[in-house]
Structure 1
């Protein structure tokens, strides 16, 4: 038999009640209020996971701090949203790292070229051997 994961729904309501210290009827109320969503077997029996136990612990902590169930629902929703956004941000940072690496490389190359041009007595703004000529009129002079 394999190891039980945090999301594996293996605990019955009575075991969950004993582990969490929360009466089974209150666990049902938490479910009715949308605070918990235990797995249901084909026969309709509730099964709770270790993640559910963590959530019950968070609920009881917030209750002890004076929040009501509606307030707890909002806090839990905000926590979930925050976690999701943090994960998305992490993914975006990883996805953008090659772009940032290339940008840093190009900036180093640009600095090196500017230094080289300055050492040759040329202006870093003008390409070598090609004086800047503006063949187009400024935007306000075009018709």
Structure 2
């Protein structure tokens, strides 16, 4: 026989245990959600007059670090990210940008390298390369493509 010195009924103990489990789950959930990129604001899309390039522009913020980004894709398959990050916090942060380009049933992801942004300063981040998928499907990207760009801290 088990001795119970808590002076509580089995029902009260199970409610207390359930409350503890819920609180622990909520704490772990918020910890995990803290590591995902922020969701970007609405992205504007501009197709050049000659139809040879598409620019996606947006701004984003995460953990008080904010910035603007222009993601450009060209008909020849070259892409470029021009972005900045402003860190108003008293401590420096590692920052990079990630852009997901989607069209029809396809998508590609491109990003900048990680850059240290010292306290209370702004840094520029750029990246550029060639992507054969962009070149192959450029007409579709110009017509129906979307981009979601996020600033990522860490």
Same fold by TM (over 0.5)? no
Rg larger in structure: 1
Determine which structure has greater relative contact order: mean sequence separation of CA pairs < 8 Å that are 6+ residues apart, divided by chain length.
2
More helix as a share of residues = 1
Compute the TM-score of the two structures, normalised by the length of structure 2.
0.26
More strand as a share of residues = 2
Compute the TM-score of the two structures, normalised by the length of structure 1.
0.28
